[in-house]
Amino acid sequence: MKFSSTGSQNVKSVSCCLLFDPQGQIHHVHRVVTMEGAPDTSQAELEAQTLRVALNLGLDTKRLQVLHVAANEFSERAHYSVDPVKRTLKIEALPSRTGLRGAKS
């Protein structure tokens, strides 16, 4: 996801926090976009927002762990999980859609 401006305002930063279970499955991703001139969101506040939103969505956050990642680590066509030991984002490319168009039965 890439932002550069909203109307006449420019994006200052994009922060990303996710919640994952002990097996590494991601259950929630929360992004905060900060526009130029706005105060930065601290990592502690980003975590608090992430947990609040997840609770409001009905997720059991007691068993989930928090991980901060760079927002640019997410691409559109991939499956993501977390290596729970290394606490790093794992990326698995999705199969190509080539050959799906025009298929006739």
The 10s digit of each residue's pLDDT in 67-98 is: 999 888 876 678 999 999 999 999 988 877 66
Check residue 98 and give its pLDDT.
Answer: 65
Tens of pLDDT, residue by residue over 7-34, are: 677 889 999 999 999 999 999 999 999 9
Q: Which two tokens stand for residue 13?
A: 């930063």
Tell me which of 34-38, 63-67, 97-101 is least confident: 97-101
CA gap 22, 41 in Å, rounded: 27
Check residue 65 and give its pLDDT.
Answer: 97
Check residue 71 and give its pLDDT.
Answer: 85
Binning the chain into helix, strand and coil, the percentages to the nearest 5 are: 20, 40, 40
Check residue 101 and give its pLDDT.
Answer: 52
Q: At a CB cut-off of 8 Å and minimum separation 6, what does 68 contact?
A: 15, 16, 17, 43, 46, 47
Chain center to CA of 53: 13
pTM beyond cutoff 0.85: no
